[in-house]
Amino acid sequence: MVRACPVCNAPNRVPPRHFADTGKCGVCQAALPPVDAPLDADPALFDAVMAEARVPVLVDFWAPWCGPCKVVAPQVARAAASLAGRAIVLKVDTDQHPALAARFGVQGIPNFVVLRDGHKVLQRAGATDAATLVSWVASAR
């Protein structure tokens, strides 16, 4: 993934194993904070994160037409900000990537999965709030 430096706006390539780390800009040496927003995941990014993540991963399976998914999206963003450096939050569009949803038996959305070391720790369907999402991730640590 390429992230822009918050100071000089230079592009910096960050591998999935470092999404939860604080790094340095390759140009100005400013701190690159951990990823603090949900990442839209295609199968390649999803698999890379599963293979390399050193922290728990929260996955939000959703679709653009889903009303409850739209309602819960700000909660997922709040959870991602709160979990920066302690977890990675991925969003998987089930319309675009149905095979990813099928891997986890997703039959209703929104559907949340917490993974640790590539293994499912928890899975829940239905809308929820940021505090609950954070507590689910905390249970995976």
Domain membership of residue 92 as a residue range: 39-138
Other beta carbons within 10 Å of 45: 15
Confidence (pTM): 0.94
- Tallying the residues shown for the chain, one arrives at 141
Q: Are residues 64 and 119 in the same domain?
A: yes
List residues with catalytic annotation.
66, 69
Q: Are residues 26 and 52 in the same domain?
A: no
Other beta carbons within 10 Å of 101: 22
Q: Are residues 57 and 116 in the same domain?
A: yes
Q: Are residues 28 and 74 in the same domain?
A: no
Query: What is the structure's pLDDT at 141?
Result: 74
∠ CA 49-51-53, rounded to 5°: 55
Average pLDDT, 10 consecutive residues per value, the chain (141 residues): 94 95 95 96 96 96 97 98 97 97 96 95 96 95 74
Q: Are residues 87 and 109 in the same domain?
A: yes
Q: Are residues 52 and 121 in the same domain?
A: yes
The C-alpha atoms of residue 16 and residue 82 are separated, in whole angstroms, by: 19
